[in-house]
Amino acid sequence: MVKMCVINYESPYGREKPYTALRFALTAIVDGHDVTMVLLQDGIFVAKKAQNPAEYPNHLEYLENAISEGLKVIVCGVCCQARGVIQEDLAEGCKIVGMHEIVEAVAYNEKTITF
Residue 79 Cα distances to 1, 40, 98, angstroms: 31, 6, 10
What are the structural domains, with CATH classification, of the chain? 3-114 (3.40.1260.10)
Evaluate if pTM is beyond 0.85.
yes
DSSP state for residue 73 in the 8-state scheme = E
Reported as a single tens digit per residue, the pLDDT across 27-81 is 999 999 999 999 999 999 999 999 888 888 889 999 999 999 999 999 999 999 9
CA angle 34, 40, 46 (to 5 degrees): 75
Q: What is the pLDDT of residues 45-56, one digit of tens each?
A: 999 999 888 888
What are the phi and psi torsion angles at 112 (to 5°)?
-130, 135
Cα–Cα distance list, 52 to 20, 45, 49 (Å): 18, 13, 9
pLDDT tens for 76-102 read 999 999 999 999 999 999 999 999 999
What integer pLDDT is reported at residue 14 of this predicted model? 82
